Structure 1
Amino acid sequence: MQNKTNIQVILDAVRKIGDAFLKEYKQNPIPQSMDELLKQLDDIDDKCLTSLKKDLSLEFPDTPWHIGDEFDTDSQRSPARQDEYWLCDAMDGAIQYLQHIAGWTINLVLVRQGKPALSVIYDPLAGEMFWAIDGEGAFMNSKLLKLSQKTDLSVMLAVFDYGHQDKSDNQLNEKIGSTVTKLLHNFGIVRNYGPHGLQLAYVGAGRIDLFVQEDIDTYNWIAGLLIAKEAGADLLTTTGEPWKWGSESLLVASKRTIEKYLEIKSTI
């Protein structure tokens, strides 16, 4: 990110590939086998990365690229060693895309010194571009984002999510179940809505009041985390500690909503 004029270059590159996918949305048959599914997922990755690399190569000729593999738990525990690099989740919600369901986005993050410096989440179906620059605010298209101002849990929307790692021998399913139960008992509306990054951006936009996840999912979170933070949200773990790269859980909301949630969580 050499200067502010490059922000538009980045937004244009993300919008271009997102709109290209939109033109093909629902045009291909829904995959009926694992081989078909994996082939179409690989095709999405290849198409997305080829387009982004081409469009950003002139402005960022020396910036390397990393693919955020959410199935690789160990790689999510720390950032890459480069001072600056692109971290790309080619399509967050690719399964929804292939199933002809809404809820898929193009996510791109510029990581600098181990922290997101700029992030973009583009929802082509809604025509909404969420983006943020560290220390400079968060936006949807050109509108400055603001958190929800609700104080009554009965009208709040809480969302929960989960990652792809093996949960068979670490009691994660039980922990997730307990979390969902507490949400259902205390929040007026509880949902799970597919793409993690977009849900976090929705926290920043005031559309979602609280996001909680009990397992590590750094690559799926990272684009949305900067957007939520720059809109004013607190980023913590579910035990109330400050979130950092590699944390095993995530809790995102306004400060007062988090305080209420942690009080609820501490009750038996």
Structure 2
Amino acid sequence: MITIALEAGAKILEVYGSEDFKVESKKDDSPLTLADQKSHETIVKGLEDLTPNLPILSEEGNHLKYEGRKDWDYFWLVDPLDGTKEFIKRNGEFTVNIALIHQGKPVLGVIYAPVLDTLYVAKEGLGSYKLEGVTSKQYNSVETFTTLAMKLPLDKKDEKISAVASRSHLSKETEEYLNKVKQKVGEIDITSAGSSLKLCLVAEGTADVYPRFAPTMEWDTAAGHAIVMNAGGTVTQPNTGEPLVYNKENLLNPWFIVRKDGFNL
């Protein structure tokens, strides 16, 4: 999975360094670039070679109706380029997201930020890890990787509560939630970030909470959900406290709150 994510990231950077992204608009008016398409093709080919019998659900692929996928036991859930708006802005805050889903739960997750050359990886039973400068590192086994990488969450010495919010989708409801946290704990630090990096910041403990009261799709959150969960955190619905589940009939996520381990507000 790591190799596939890095190959997809390299394809994205080829387009990122060009003058023309070939931006189109999808049916929902969200942007689509040549980089999205090249990353999708690279990931699909890599996953088909790795696990030829497992289905793949990608943002940029053909989406089967629920009747055709409701009985999937394991499947890959992919966002080839999460944060296309950040990509177009050239701020580097976009990622490649690949998750393995088992019976509605993410059990493996890889997030790669090509410009930052930073990788987040999670596996059920193994934990969550962050590796910086990943393309310059040499590893050929899980043992070597976990030796080079930092296990999440990282030690955080700052006593002040910190939150992370979407750079492009800060809703009124999100602001209201953050104001409620402020009323309970006093002033908080609020950081804006793009793409699935927001979940990663909670997983590593840099942020305590990430409230999302705005639309997201399953492929936006699955890999990050795995990384948060295997670092001890939660990704839950605000009204029920239930975790997000995957391969629903409607692939739109409900609103959710990402919390690091021990944060209960």
Per the shorter chain, which TM-score range? 0.7 to 0.9
Distance of aligned partners of 1:120 and 1:24 in 2 relative to their CA distance in 1, 3 Å threshold? same
Quote the Cα distance in structure 2 between the aligned partners of 1:32 and 1:41: 6
2:104 pairs, out of 105, 111, 114, with 114
Distance of aligned partners of 1:85 and 1:129 in 2 relative to their CA distance in 1, 3 Å threshold? same
Q: Which residue number in structure 1 is paired with residue 9 of structure 2?
A: 18
Q: Which residue number in structure 2 is paired with residue 191 of structure 1?
A: 191
2:173 pairs, out of 172, 175, 181, with 175
CA contact (8 A) 2:106 2:226 kept: yes
Q: What is the 5 A alignment of 1:11-160?
A: 11-29=2-20, 41-68=32-59, 80-141=70-131, 142-146=149-153, 149=156, 152=159, 155-160=160-165
Deviations along 1:4-53, one digit per CA (max 9) or x if unpaired, are xxxxxx10111011022223324224778859xx7971533321121112
Deviations along 1:214-253, one digit per CA (max 9) or x if unpaired, are 2453331221111011011133322461323276222222
Distance of aligned partners of 1:206 and 1:184 in 2 relative to their CA distance in 1, 3 Å threshold? same
SS at match of 1:207: coil
SS at match of 2:190: strand
Q: Which residue number in structure 2 is paired with residue 223 of structure 1?
A: 223
Amino acid aligned to 2:231:
A
Shift of 1:147: 5.1
Q: Which residue number in structure 1 is paired with residue 137 of structure 2?
A: none
Deviations along 1:162-221, one digit per CA (max 9) or x if unpaired, are 998xxxxxxx955334224335554421133121x2211121112222111124533312
Distance of aligned partners of 1:12 and 1:173 in 2 relative to their CA distance in 1, 3 Å threshold? closer
Q: Identity of paired residues, percent?
A: 22
Gaps of 5+ in 2: 132-148
Quote the Cα distance in structure 2 between the aligned partners of 1:43 and 1:231: 34
Q: So what's the TM-score if we normalise by structure 1? A: 0.73
Distance of aligned partners of 1:148 and 1:233 in 2 relative to their CA distance in 1, 3 Å threshold? farther
Q: Which residue number in structure 2 is paired with residue 249 of structure 1?
A: 255
CA contact (8 A) 1:200 1:252 kept: yes
Amino acid aligned to 2:173:
K
Quote the Cα distance in structure 1 between the aligned partners of 2:239 and 2:168: 18
Gaps of 5+ in 1: 1-9, 165-171, 262-268
Q: So what's the TM-score if we normalise by structure 2? A: 0.74
CA contact (8 A) 1:162 1:213 kept: no
Quote the Cα distance in structure 1 between the aligned partners of 2:107 and 2:17: 34
Shift of 1:100: 1.6
Q: Judge which range, 109-118 or 79-88, deviates more.
A: 79-88
CA contact (8 A) 1:93 1:104 kept: yes
Count of residues in Structure 1 that have an aligned counterpart in Structure 2: 232
Quote the Cα distance in structure 2 between the aligned partners of 1:30 and 1:136: 38
Shift of 1:145: 1.2
Distance of aligned partners of 1:89 and 1:215 in 2 relative to their CA distance in 1, 3 Å threshold? same
Q: Judge which range, 49-58 or 85-94, deviates more.
A: 49-58
Quote the Cα distance in structure 1 between the aligned partners of 2:43 and 2:24: 29
Question: When you count helix as a share of all residues, which structure comes out higher?
Answer: 1
Amino acid aligned to 1:235:
V
Distance of aligned partners of 1:100 and 1:231 in 2 relative to their CA distance in 1, 3 Å threshold? same
